[in-house]
Structure 1
Amino acid sequence: MVKLGESTVCPVSRSLDIVGDRWTMLCLRELFMGATRFEEIQIQTEATPQMLTSRLKALEANGMVARHLYSEKPRRYEYRLTEKGREVYPVVQALRAWGETWCKAPDEGVAVLYSHQECGHDVGLDNVCTHCGVRVERKDLDARLSDKFAKERAQRHAVFKGKTGPV
């Protein structure tokens, strides 16, 4: 029996077996934005509970996230990126940069502005601080949502709360 991704030595194919669908990438986006709880991730990805459960289980099985119990009754877990999961940030960042450049109208503006914590300057769409030339990782950055993106996220939250009641 061939294990997932082992039918080829191609690293692109093997990587896509783990992170190559929309829902997985949106889960990773939310984890990088600081969401740790199922409901938070579900609200912003708009995934069904079944879809989100399957993606989080797959990320856990592949060592990308680890579950941590935060409530005994009822049993509830939060999801945290592992080192392996944090290492995929350049891929998420590259998709963000490409999407900002090629998938939006110029007048829409950048959805998330990142500044380098060390110097406070904007890093733009790159992974190198334009001010000090330092290569940055997600942990080195402060994020600020554009007004439009913040409203979009707040609206998703309000719709979710209206449908389900208290979370």
Structure 2
Amino acid sequence: MARSDLADTSCPVSRAIERVGDPWVLIILREAFLGTRKFDDFQRNTGASPHVLSLRLKQMCGDGILAKRAYCDSPLRYEYRLTDKGLELWPLIMVLHGWGQKWLGGQGVMLTHKACGARFAPQLSCPGCGAPLTARDVRAEISPDFQTEREQREEDHR
């Protein structure tokens, strides 16, 4: 499957990867969750070239992940803020943080729950019983639409 085809599937994983699977998008998200708002700060903190950063910020605004807002009129300057849609990507960044810390090393940032002050590592848990979840604890069921797509790909592959 070509990357351009990722948006044209019923699989939400593929469609999400098409929107936020670019490494620069993920690094920009990391920075946005750390409080970065201004172009120059994104550039300094990510190491992205102005051209790459400009393209990704425009894409993320177009996708509704970030909102561009003027903060200075003379000269005209903008800041980028996470939208509700962007804020819902927090678990993705937290899972990447936890995985990277465990398997690749480095602390990066420490996470502290604002309400109680406890330090924590990201963890998925069941909304029903609260038990921690791993891949071995979950059963995935393929939707009929996605199953049809998979069968069509198998047919096309022959």
Shorter chain as denominator, the TM-score bin is: 0.7 to 0.9
Q: Structure 2 stretches of 5 or more lacking a match? A: 131-158
Deviation at 1:127, TM superposition (A): 6.3
Deviation at 1:5, TM superposition (A): 4.5
Write out per-residue CA displacement over residues 39-70 of structure 1, whole angstroms, 9 at most, x where no aligned residue.
11111110000000000000000000001101
Write out per-residue CA displacement over residues 60-97 of structure 1, whole angstroms, 9 at most, x where no aligned residue.
00000001101112211000000000000100110000
Is 1:36 paired with 2:37? yes
Q: Structure 1 stretches of 5 or more lacking a match? A: 134-167
Pairing of 1:5-20 with structure 2 (within 5 A): 5-20=6-21
Deviation at 1:6, TM superposition (A): 3.7
Indicate if the aligned counterparts of 2:7 and 2:18 stay in contact, CA closer than 8 A: no
Deviation at 1:8, TM superposition (A): 1.1
Separation (CA, whole Å) in 1 of partners of 2:7 and 2:13? 12
Separation (CA, whole Å) in 2 of partners of 1:123 and 1:96? 12
TM-score by length of 1: 0.69
Pick the structure with greater CA Rg.
2
Q: Partner letter of residue 124 of structure 1?
A: A
Indicate if the aligned counterparts of 2:7 and 2:14 stay in contact, CA closer than 8 A: no
Residue 124 of structure 1 corresponds to: 121
Q: Please provide the CA RMSD for this pair.
A: 1.9
C-alpha spacing 1:127/1:33, structure 2 compared with 1 (3 Å):
farther
Residue 56 of structure 1 corresponds to: 57
Separation (CA, whole Å) in 2 of partners of 1:118 and 1:49? 38
Q: Partner letter of residue 31 of structure 2?
A: E
SS of 1:29's partner is helix
Residue 92 of structure 2 corresponds to: 91
Indicate if the aligned counterparts of 2:67 and 2:81 stay in contact, CA closer than 8 A: yes
Indicate if the aligned counterparts of 2:66 and 2:81 stay in contact, CA closer than 8 A: yes
Pairing of 1:58-73 with structure 2 (within 5 A): 58-73=59-74
Aligned length: 123
Write out per-residue CA displacement over residues 123-153 of structure 1, whole angstroms, 9 at most, x where no aligned residue.
124368xxxx8xxxxxxxxxxxxxxxxxxxx
